[in-house]
Amino acid sequence: MAILLDIDDTEDITHGHQQMALFNAFYDEYCYLPIHIYEGKSGKLVTTVLRPGKRPSGKEVVAILKRVVRKIRNAWPEVGILLRADAHYTAPEVIEFCEAENLHYALGLTPNAVLRREAASLVEEAERCYRLKRQPVRIFGEFSYGAGSWEENSRVVVKAEHNALGPNLRFVVTNLECRSRRVVYETIYSDRGRMELMIKDHKTHLLSDRTSCHRFEANQFRLFLHSLAYVLLHALRRRHLQGTTWARAQFDTIRLEVLKIGARVRQLRTRIRVHLPTSYPWQAEWAKIWASCRGSP
């Protein structure tokens, strides 16, 4: 049994004079840069933390991970934990924390001259195979690497790809013992791309980027409210929408088609009666959901 912690940030563009909103050159906007953490297999939200609009430091990431890991270990002392993130979370402090806390990790690594030199033979082989076959080629390799700021060397898995657009070189640093380099990259690391859909549900479909209060604390509270909405809709879809039209629906679809229904409400002496429209096109499906919710403990 293992828990996959997928961590990433997303831009939350600000308009006005919100506290701690900063200019970010990458996005070319004044923004916040909240961190999102999800459980990678289930899509459950772990936490969201509002931050100023700058790249998080290694110490800041570790401060958040410490609290998350402590909560997990208190609840499930024996569970394994795998941290996945892209390259700008691969700070020395993060790797040291994972090693000290016995966490597995698969983290993207920004290419540099040393890494490119180590992978040069793979890049050449991928290009040669592409010229022969005229089909996209992926070759995987690995080597031991340690940046000057790292305490010790770590395993680096390399993907050397060549296609019609040219070479594509990627690196992942990991402490996983899986022998298959392809599995480490394509199955374990690349699967974290699903997190983009989770952030989309949270940010776009539940409008969690509406942090328009002046005070930073107020905007963090607003983010918590949107996170609560994510938890509720995720539970609704997982527990009560299976077997219906919306079993795999995005949150905006669920919100507009399942929850946002016009109705007439009558307040009686001993009860409140809700009259739903007879023109609602998914009456049978909605009845299934209602029966499922009523039957829940």
**CA 273/CA 43 separation, integer angstroms:** 35
User: What's the full length of the chain, in residues?
Assistant: 297
Residue 82 has pLDDT above 90, yes or no: yes
Q: Is there a domain that residue 80 lies in?
A: yes
Check: pTM over 0.85? Answer yes or no. yes
Q: Is there a domain that residue 218 lies in?
A: no
Q: Which two tokens stand for residue 14?
A: 């600000």
Q: What domain range includes position 173? A: 2-192
Identify the pLDDT of residue 169: 93
- The mean pLDDT of 138-157, rounded to a whole number, is 84
Q: Is there a domain that residue 23 lies in?
A: yes
- The mean pLDDT of 13-36, rounded to a whole number, is 94
- Confidence class of residue 297 from pLDDT cuts 50, 70 and 90? low
**219 in Cβ contact with 208 (< 8 Å):** no
**47 in Cβ contact with 10 (< 8 Å):** no
The pLDDT tens digits of the residues spanning 180-232 come to: 999 999 999 999 989 999 999 999 999 999 999 999 999 999 999 999 999 99
Instruction: Say which residue the tokens 């993907």 belong to.
Output: 159
Q: Is there a domain that residue 294 lies in?
A: no
Which CATH number does the domain housing residue 92 bear? 3.30.420
Q: Is there a domain that residue 234 lies in?
A: no
Q: Is there a domain that residue 272 lies in?
A: no
Q: What share of the chain is helix, strand, coil (3-state, %, to 5)?
A: 40, 25, 35
Identify the pLDDT of residue 36: 97
**157 in Cβ contact with 140 (< 8 Å):** yes
**CA 38/CA 3 separation, integer angstroms:** 10
**115 in Cβ contact with 171 (< 8 Å):** yes
Determine which helix (DSSP H) or strand (DSSP E) holds 39, and give its type and residue range. Answer: strand 35-39
Amino acid sitting at position 71: K
- The mean pLDDT of 165-175, rounded to a whole number, is 92
For residue 99, count CB atoms less than 10 angstroms from its CB and return exposed for 0-12, middle for 13-18, buried for 19 or more: middle
- The mean pLDDT of 108-118, rounded to a whole number, is 91
Residue 152 has pLDDT above 90, yes or no: no
Identify the pLDDT of residue 154: 86
* Number of domains, the chain: 1
**29 in Cβ contact with 16 (< 8 Å):** no
β-pairing verdict for 80-85 and 104-109 = parallel
Identify the pLDDT of residue 296: 64
The pLDDT tens digits of the residues spanning 94-107 come to: 999 999 999 999 99
Q: Is there a domain that residue 69 lies in?
A: yes
Amino acid sitting at position 137: V
Identify the pLDDT of residue 179: 82
Q: Is there a domain that residue 238 lies in?
A: no
